[in-house]
Amino acid sequence: MGRRAALYARVSTTDQSCERQERDLRAFGERSDYEIVGVFRETASGARNDRAERRRVMALAQAREIDVILVTELSRWGRSTIDLLHTLRDLEAHGVSLAALNGMTFDLSTSVGRMMATLIAGLAEFERDLLRERIRSGLAAAKARGKILGRKPGQRPKADRYAVRVMALVGQGLSYRLIARDLGLSKNTVIAIVHRHRAASVPPLSA
């Protein structure tokens, strides 16, 4: 057999199926004489970052157990232009290519692959500029409407939300470490909540 390939298929919602993608990828792999070492299916929206199956494919690439990743479209793999570029760089470091059935193949060991990565890098920078511009425009519009941005002085949203529960557990004699573990907070956050509460409870000294 030829080069080792991982097939990656993704759909956005649970009412969709990866069957067509898998069928097309298998057929392409067989025509191209790839050795298919694994098929990875995922249900996740294009914007989500927690793609467990994609992480498994990247782990195979890092272990150099595959030579190429096959997808039906680049949008099935990358969450954005920037994300695509980052993963391409990671794959390049491990000598792994990314190939889509629409003819887009990124083999960064070739001049064509490097040229396409350069184009992607330019698009990624353009995308970052657009995002920064939208953020600045949105902040300016919000300020013009009189909206106060950011956290108010002295305000600690997460700590304030847990203060009552923290002090209740302290009253039960639990250690700061156990309280932090049970509430999913850091030990330093628990200590800060207790210190602020006790400081606020101490009456000021008379003159």
pTM: 0.56
Give me the active site residues, please: 12
Tokens 């920064």 correspond to 132
User: What is the rounded distance in angstroms from the CA atom of residue 77 to the CA atom of residue 100?
Assistant: 9
Mean pLDDT of the chain: 79
Q: Express each pLDDT in 7-35 by its tens digit.
A: 999 988 888 889 999 999 999 999 989 99
How big is the CA angle at 57 (ends 108 and 125), to the nearest 5 degrees? 50
Q: Give the pLDDT of residue 7.
A: 96
Q: Kindly tell me if the per-residue pLDDT of 207 is higher than 50.
A: no
Closest CA to 192 of 204, 170, 59: 170
C-alpha to C-alpha distance for 1 and 25, rounded to whole angstroms: 16
